Amino acid sequence: MYAFDFVKPATLSDAVAAMEQEGAQALAGGQTLLPTMKQRLNAPDILISLNGIAELRGVRREEDALVIGAATTHTEVARDAAADYPGLAALAGQIGDPSVRNRGTLGGSVANNDPSACYPAAVLGSGATIATSKREIAADDFFQGMFATALDDDELITAIRFPIPHKAAYAKFHQPASRFALTGAFVANFGDGVRVAITGASEEGVFRWTEAEAALSDNFDAAALDGLTLPAKGMIGDLHGTPEYRAHLVAVMTRRAVAAAR
């Protein structure tokens, strides 16, 4: 790693102030950022740890939504969201492995927007709202392609507000080495509509499969997806799967998520 200064503010306002410095970079769980820095692919001058800020942590119920602090770990979400939003909790419990889940955070994952990460599917699939140090951003506006988001350089995610659907589930097909999603489908049925978000598959990052949403909104049953396919064009092709295979998996995983939704 290149050398950098390390600061660990205790309050959000101190963190926001620190982020205004030249070369500042927020450090959440670090499970992606630190390996990248070890490869010298990322060279912040100042690393600002968000791990000492109590107000960024925790899961709380607010009416029909679950509000989760950005620095809440995957382990905490898997445990503390289980009663209110089991589909989301189950997704968090499948990220990485237990040790990674003890460090990795919701905010870190969403801000990074890895095209194969699990959380973006839940955020987009839930129609969540991303609260930042500056504003609130709807999930539909937040994700802007591989590793790209609506965040400004000095903007921090503070919490994410997940509307709680009637039923939801995430079906993940693992990329076997990294344990990210080769393809993952998050399906949420809100009663007045269904959202389907797909991760791991598209060269544009997480996306909503609107044809599936329409079909499932009429009939929330895996059979409603019969015959529905996605074109392979625009899907990721790599060692682990061709675009055709990923397009196929999108349909399979979506069906499985519908069947598993509760």
Partner 1 sequence: MPKDGIGASTKRREDVRFLTGNGRYTDDINLRGQAYVHFLRSDVAHGRIRAIDTSAAEEMPGVIRIFTAEDFAHAGGLPCGWQVTDKHGQPMQEPKHPILAEGKVRHVGDPICAVVAETLEQARDAAEEIELDIEELPAVIDMRKALEDGATKVHDDLNSNLCYDWGFVEENKEAVDKAFSEAAHVVSVDLVNNRLCANPMEARVAIGDYDPWNDQHTLYTTSQNPHVIRLLMGAFVLSLPEHKLRIVAPDVGGGFGSKIYHYAEEAFCTHAAKILKQPVKWTSTRSEAFISDAHARDHVSKIELALDKDHNFTAIRSTTLANMGAYLSTFAPSIPTWLHGTLMAGPYKTPLIYVNVKAVFTNTVAVDAYRGAGRPEATFQLERVIDKAARELGVDGVELRRKNFIKPDEFPYQTPVALEYDSGNFHATMDKMLELSDYANLDARVQESRENGKLRGFGISQYIEACGIAPSNLVGQLGARAGLYETATVRVNATGSISVLTGCHSHGQGHETSFPQIVADMIGIDASQIDLVHGDTANTPMGMGTYGSRSVAVGGSALVKATNKIIDKAKKIAAHLLEAAPEDIELKDGKFSVAGTDKSVDWAGVTLAAYVPHNYPLEDLEPGLEETAFYDPNNFTFPSGCYGCEVEIDPETGKVDIVAFTAADDFGTVINPMIVEGQVHGGLAQGIGQALTEHCVYDENGQLLTGSFMDYTMPRADDLPVFKVDHSCATPCTHNPLGAKGCGEAGAIGSPPAVVNAVIDALHRAGHTHVQHIDMPVTPARVWAAMNTK
Partner 2 sequence: MNTISMTVNGKTVSAEAEGRTLLSGFLREGLGLTGTHVGCDTSQCGACVVHVDGKPVKSCSVLAMDVAGSEIRTIEGMANSDGSLNAIQQAFQDHHGLQCGFCTPGMVMAAAALLAENPRPTEAEIRDYLEGNICRCTGYQNIVKAVMAASGQDVSEMSAIAAQ
Residues that bind partner 1 (CB under 8 A): 1-3, 38-40, 173, 176-178, 238-242, 244-245, 248-249, 252
Amino acid at 53: I
CB of 238 to partner 1, least distance (A): 8
Q: Does 129 bind partner 2 (CB under 8 A)?
A: no
Give the whole-angstrom CA distance, residue 11 versus residue 19. Answer: 12
Please, which residues have CB within 8 angstroms of residue 38's CB and are 6 or more apart in sequence? 1
Among partner 2, partner 1, none, what binds residue 51 when CB lies within 5 to 8 Å by partner kind?
partner 2
Q: Does 182 bind partner 2 (CB under 8 A)?
A: no
Half-sphere exposure of 87 (CA within 13 A, CB side): 30
Q: Does 51 bind partner 2 (CB under 8 A)?
A: yes
Residues in the chain: 262
Of 42, 102, 112, 217, the one binding partner 2 (CB under 8 A) is: 102
CB of 173 to partner 1, least distance (A): 6
**Shortest CA distance to 2 belongs to which of 29, 34, 37?**
37
Give the whole-angstrom CA distance, residue 210 versus residue 99. Answer: 35
Distances (CA, A) of 179 to 106, 123, 132: 17, 19, 28
CB of 50 to partner 2, least distance (A): 10
45 or 152: CB nearest partner 1: 45
Of 8, 204, 220, 228, the one binding partner 2 (CB under 8 A) is: 8
CB of 177 to partner 1, least distance (A): 4
Amino acid at 119: Y
Tokens at 218, concatenated: 């009429």
